[in-house]
Chain A
Amino acid sequence: MGITVSMTVNGKAVTADLDPRTLLVQFLRENLLLTGTHVGCDTGQCGACTVHLDGRAVKACNILAAQAEGATVVTIEGISANGELHPMQAAFREHHGLQCGFCTPGMVMNAIDLVQKDPHPPENMIRAEIDGNLCRCTGYHNIVKAIAAGAAAMKR
């Protein structure tokens, strides 16, 4: 028994017939082949699936695709254009804020959201705000540096 779901993803209107239990992350990865959004856990803990839903960072494994009906969704593939990096992406590269790259899209999406909420985040706030994004490679040291630098770059 399918349902029809429509939303805007990375600026494009999309519609699909889905199994009602389809998660937003499954819809993005499997129907739209936007595989930059990753699934790292099954309990909403790791944050690898973080996307922007109507401008807010959400964990795409924690909502059904049907709940995003009519919404505007932006994924890691949608934050930059023409091969240029978003200032936050560029900061992650500059400060070696990624290793295996698996948590990176979610981390970047959450970092952009946090800078939109507070353009001058101090280190302790950055650490608190990315508490819901797990990274097993970097020890967070360079992620924290990258987000601080990315925040400064986003102001420019």
Chain B
Amino acid sequence: MNAPVIGQSIKRKEDYRFLTGGGTYTDDVTLPGQTYACFLRSPNAHARLKSINTAKAAAAPGVVAVFTGDDLAKAKVGGLPCGWLITGVTGQPMKEPPHPPLAQGKVRYVGDHVAVVVAETLNQAKDAAELIEVDYEVLPAVVKIADARKPGAPLVHDIAPDNTCYVWALGDKGAVDKAFAAAHHVTSLEFINNRLIPNAIEPRAAVAHYSRADDSYTLYVTSQNPHVERLLLTAFVLGLPEHKVRVISPDVGGGFGSKIYLYAEEAVLTWASKQVNRPIKWTAERSESFLSDAHGRDHLTKAEIALDKNGKFLAMRVATTANMGAYLSTFASCIPTILYATLLAGQYTTPAIYCKVTAVFTNTAPVDAYRGAGRPEATYVVERLVSTAARELGIEEAEIRRRNFITQFPYQTPVALCYDTGNYDATLTEALKLADVAGFETRRRDAEKRGKLRGLGYSTYIEACGLAPSNIAGSLGARAGLYEAGEVRVHPTGTVTVFTGSHSHGQGHETTFAQVVADRLGIPVENVDIVHGDTGRILFGMGTYGSRSIAVGGSAIVKALDKIIAKGRKIAAHMLEAAEPDIEFRDGAFQVMGTDKRKTFGEVAFAAYVPHNYPLDKLEPGLNESAFYDPTNFTYPAGSHICEVEIDSDTGATRVVNFTAVDDFGKVINPMIVEGQVHGGLAQGIGQALLEGCVYDPESGQLLTGTLMDYALPRADDLPSFKVDMKETPCTHNPLGVKGCGEAGAIGAPAAVINAIVDALAPLGVRDVEMPATPERVWRAIQNANAAKKAA
């Protein structure tokens, strides 16, 4: 019996190159004859482009070419497409304004792309960009969500009256209104889910190369999904034959959603590389990332929950306005709808839920999926309501949750999803233990003696991962498939290369996927290599987002492995002169059942490539199989997060002193990697709750948090060490029983942190604190509560 490889914390195969400086990120790619691009960006949130004079720039030293929106329009370069069509309550399709890669006629946010300079060196490109003369007619801008639909608000796009992209709804409004009318208690809250800037530490970058020799393009790019990038680029923007474009996303330094999308720079570079017949490199400076990477979240929400006298949830009613920014980014439209409203049942049996979502355009950067994407926003709504209701009804936090947990599966929610499995009490019970909730009162009193306020906050979240199946998503407006592809290439000596459509940008697929393969084939992990991120080598792929890699990409690999084993069984039967049904495959060998006659996997692989003793009349030589896997359902990871904060009431400074996460990701392949994913998610979730907030000047639309000095990314001393544990309730509908773990931390944590702050401040009369709960906001909440008490 071989030692198990599934469930083992095997050290990562990819680490050696990253630790020694041997990774190859896009900006590390340098091609012969390479030029450099600098994008001139709009300094205005909203302006008409009266004229652009590029003459001086074009004549500057080292400049190869300068292009504007007019050049692209003349060349019939299309706009950047949106991949999901949302149909509104009136049956009208969403408004899809054109999104030219370089602005035409108008600029619509600070950072919008006005022109590109291509030069021999980066400094020359930058110097020349400063010589472009743009005559802007500055127009009033609409910046805040709350202002977008006000009468007389400036229009971002003429085709979208009231700046409205769509008004969409989910759920039975009649049933919800009826339940509210008859409820014993109603809790309502209004929230802003703060706008975030993803900030992967590797900035976006691209190197585009056109080869006149074979009329083909190669684009190196920081992408989470190179095949999708190629499809959008060729079919929708540049009109190029897909087989003439190769997209390579080599090592990518973090994505968190922000590298899913097709961005203007990548399209412009690919097109321009043919015009100048030279490779062109562009790498975002961090300030460009702040201005032009798709942002996340940015909801304004009113939410209510109706309860009976025992604290049972009767109904939930939610109205959200979601900011799309100035243009629709690749998946922007489905985030506050398909990935948000459908999650409002949470872990609970709430029988009736209604959610209305109004998506608006503003003169800000496009907003799209960022780690969690819709699900953190939904969890925040549900878990803040639940904790607030518990306090109002005097029911303990754990108790009100337990009274409402779903315990029977499969469970059909009133908001379209059908949960296949889960065990919410198990994760909550474990979290209560691990967080030492029993000892909290003592810790609270100790803190009080030191003049500090302690609070405990809960968040029992659900997420839906591995968005699927394709046909249902299609009926909901998806313009792409949602499967994954994988290919298993067994070499003659029995080592294996796997080509996966998933993409690793930190997740460790080269290790986790190798463990899956090693386990199935009974071969050492060292004998398996995983290749990803290259349309020239991988048959197809939808890429990595929405915690889908192991559940969808891993399952595609398993399907291909099953075909390998099935073929191997046929080969072995021939070699062993036995009937195929008598051959079993285990521990890396094909064996005639009940005998010691066996052929190892390596021997069978060799026979497949040197087919001397081989059933050539019935079977092709070779051992190479591919598969596409289209899931039958989402997966439903879930868990319990408990946050403990300590607040200095004099300054409002809040520290997370303990954070406990007990998650159920189904079967875990590599616990070390999964825990790492949880840690990172928690840091981003705590970051959203305490530190991070994108701020635009409400009048001018200037980005005020445009550097790492103004936008507070969590640093090492902002965070505690985490307590993380797992329960395994295997997914019922994929072959590995896996659910996905990448986003859980970011989904569960924000509500837990704010619930903890409110718990600490509730004795003063504080009911809510807006995210990010900066010291100033917490201090003001305390001051306002004290003032209100005095006045009363």
Are B15 and A136 in contact (CB-based, < 8 A)?
no
Q: Which residues of A contact B18 (CB under 8 A)?
A: 98, 100-101, 104
- List the B side residues contacting A130 at CB < 8 Å: 716
B286→A41 contact, CB < 8 A:
yes
- A143 contacts B by Cβ under 8 Å: yes
Q: How far is the CB of A36 from chain B (nearest CB, A)?
A: 2
Q: Give the chain A neighbours of B395 by CB distance below 8 A.
A: none
Q: Which of B20-28, B375-383, B470-478 contacts A (4 or more CB under 8 A)?
A: B20-28
Q: Whole-angstrom distance from the CB of B172 to the nearest CB of chain A? A: 40
Q: Which residues of B contact A48 (CB under 8 A)?
A: 201
- B679: contacting residue among A41, A105, A138, CB under 8 A: A138
Which residues of the other chain, B, contact A104 by a CB distance below 8 angstroms?
A: 18-19
From A101, A131, A135, residue with most partner B Cβ within 10 Å: A101
Residues of A within 8 A of B713 (CB): 134, 136
- Could you tell me which residues of chain B, from 179 to 197, have a CB within 8 Å of some CB in chain A? none
B161 interface residue per 8 A CB criterion: no
User: A59 an interface residue at 8 Å Cβ cutoff?
Assistant: no
Is the CB–CB distance between A93 and B201 below 8 Å? no
Given known contacts A100-B252, A134-B713, A135-B201, A41 and B708 CB-to-CB distance under 8 angstroms: yes
Give the interface segment out of B106-114, B505-513, B769-777: B505-513
- Are B19 and A93 touching (Cβ within 8 A)? yes
> Quick one: closest B residue to A45, CB to CB?
B708
Interface residues of A in 117-132 (CB under 8 A from B): 123-124, 126-128, 130-131
Whether a CB of chain B sits under 8 angstroms from the CB of A27 is: no
Residue A2 CB within 8 A of the other chain: no
**Do A99 and B680 contact each other (CB < 8 Å), given the known contacts A45-B708, A131-B717?**
yes
Asked if B676 and A89 make an inter-chain contact with CB atoms under 8 angstroms apart, the answer reads no
Within 8 A of A (CB), among B395-432: none
Interface centre among A38, A76, A94, A131 (most CB of B within 10 A): A38
Q: How far is the CA of A135 from the CA of B717 in the complex (A)?
A: 12
A124 to B15 Cα, complex, angstroms = 26
- CB-based contact B20/A139 at 8 Å: no
Of B24, B505, B679, which contacts A141 at CB under 8 A? B679
- Would you call B683 an interface residue if the criterion is a C-beta within 8 Å of the partner chain's C-beta atoms? yes
Per the bound structure, the CA–CA distance linking A89 and B721 in Å amounts to 21
A139 near B679 with CB under 8 A, answer: yes
Of the candidates B283, B505, B680, the one having the most CB atoms from chain A within 10 angstroms of its own CB is B680
Chain B residue at minimum C-beta to C-beta distance from A130? B716
The residues of B that contact A40 with a CB separation of less than 8 Å are 201-203, 253, 286
Q: Are B254 and A80 in contact (CB under 8 A)?
A: no
User: Which of chain A's residues 11-33 have a Cβ closer than 8 Å to chain B?
Assistant: 19, 21, 29-30, 33
A35-B28, A85-B20 as given contacts; A101 in contact with B253, CB under 8 Å: yes
* Docked-complex contact B286 and A142, CB < 8 angstroms: no
**How many residues belonging to A are interface residues under a CB distance threshold of 8 Å?**
57
Least Cβ–Cβ distance between B198 and chain A, in angstroms = 8
Are B16 and A139 in contact (CB-based, < 8 A)?
A: no
Contact present for B200 and A142 (CB under 8 Å): no
- How far apart sit A99 and B507, CA to CA, in the bound complex (Å)? 6
Residue pair B19, A136 in contact (C-beta under 8 Å) = no
In the bound complex, CA of A143 to CA of B285 (Å): 26
A75 CB to closest chain B CB (Å) equals 7
Say whether, besides A100-B202, A100-B252, A100-B506, A137 and B680 are in contact (CB < 8 Å): yes
Report how far A42 CA is from B122 CA in the complex, Å: 15
**Residues of B contacting A139 in the complex (Cβ-Cβ under 8 angstroms):** 679-684, 714, 719, 722, 745
Chain A contact residues: helix, strand, loop or mixed: loop
- In the complex, A46 Cα to B199 Cα: how many Å? 11
- By beta carbon, the residue of chain A nearest B29 is A35
Decide if A144 touches B721 in the complex (CB within 8 Å): yes
Residue of B nearest to A98 (CB): B18
**Alpha-carbon distance A50/B18, docked complex (angstroms):** 15
A137 to B255, CA, bound (A): 9
If A40-B202, A43-B709, A105-B21 touch, does A127 touch B676 (CB 8 Å cutoff)?
A: no
A80 to B679, CA, bound (A): 29
Does A103 belong to the interface (CB within 8 Å)?
Answer: yes
A69 adjacent to chain B (CB < 8 Å): no
Q: How far is the CB of A87 from chain B (nearest CB, A)?
A: 12
Q: Is the CB of B717 within 8 A of A134?
A: no
| A149 contacts chain B at the CB level, 8 A cutoff | no
Q: Judge if B493 is at the interface, Cβ distance under 8 Å.
A: no
B286 and A100 contacting across the interface, CB-CB below 8 Å: no
The minimal Cβ–Cβ distance linking B740 to chain A, given in whole angstroms, is 16
**Other-chain contact of B676, A30, A45, A99, A108 (Cβ < 8 Å):** A99
How far apart sit A100 and B506, CA to CA, in the bound complex (Å)?
3
| B-facing residues in A65-116 (Cβ within 8 Å) | 75-77, 80, 85, 89, 92-94, 96, 98-105, 108
Question: Which residues of chain A have C-beta atoms less than 8 A from B24's C-beta?
Answer: 35
Q: Which partner residue on chain B sits nearest A128 by CB separation? A: B717
- Which of A85, A92, A139 has most B Cβ within 10 Å? A139
Does B716 lie within 8 Å of A96, measured CB to CB? no
Q: Are A77 and B708 in contact (CB under 8 A)?
A: no
| Of the residues A43, A98, A127, contact of B717 by C-beta under 8 Å | A127
Tell me if B585 counts as interface (CB < 8 A to partner A): no
Residues on the B chain within 8 Å of A145, using CB:
721
Q: Is the CB of A89 within 8 A of B19?
A: yes
Pick the most buried of B21, B25, B680, B716: most chain A CB atoms within 10 A of its CB: B716
Q: Are B715 and A131 in contact (CB under 8 A)?
A: yes
Give every chain B residue within 8 A of A141 (Cβ-Cβ): 679, 719, 721-722
Residues of A within 8 A of B53 (CB): none
A108 neighbours in B (Cβ, 8 Å): 19
Asked if A39 is at the interface of the complex by the 8 Å CB criterion, the answer is: yes
Give the complex CA separation of A89 and B28 in angstroms.
Answer: 21
Query: How distant is the Cα of A139 from the Cα of B19 in the complex, in angstroms?
Result: 18
A34 beta carbon closer than 8 Å to chain B = yes
Rounded to whole angstroms, the CA-CA distance of A103 and B25 in the bound complex is 12
For B275, list chain A residues within 8 Å (CB). Answer: none
Interchain CB contact under 8 A, B254 and A137: yes
Q: In the bound complex, do residue A92 and residue B15 qualify as a contact, i.e. CB atoms below 8 Å apart?
A: yes
- Name the A residues within 8 Å of B717 (CB-CB): 124, 127-128, 131
Q: Are the C-beta atoms of B683 and A75 separated by less than 8 Å?
A: no
Q: Which residues of B contact A (CB under 8 A)?
A: 11-12, 14-25, 27-28, 30, 121, 123, 199-203, 251-254, 256, 283, 285-287, 505-508, 672-673, 675-676, 679-684, 707-709, 713-717, 719, 721-722, 745
Given contacts A93-B19, A128-B717, 16 further A-B contacts (CB under 8 A): A37-B21, A40-B286, A42-B287, A43-B287, A76-B19, A85-B19, A100-B254, A101-B14, A103-B201, A123-B721, A127-B717, A131-B715, A137-B254, A137-B676, A139-B681, A139-B719
Q: List 19 A-B contacts (CB under 8 A).
A: A33-B30, A35-B24, A36-B20, A40-B253, A41-B203, A41-B708, A43-B709, A80-B20, A93-B12, A98-B18, A101-B19, A128-B716, A128-B717, A135-B716, A136-B201, A136-B683, A138-B679, A139-B714, A141-B679
Residues of chain A whose beta carbon lies under 8 Å from any beta carbon of chain B: 19, 21, 29-30, 33-43, 45-46, 48, 75-77, 80, 85, 89, 92-94, 96, 98-105, 108, 123-124, 126-128, 130-131, 133-145
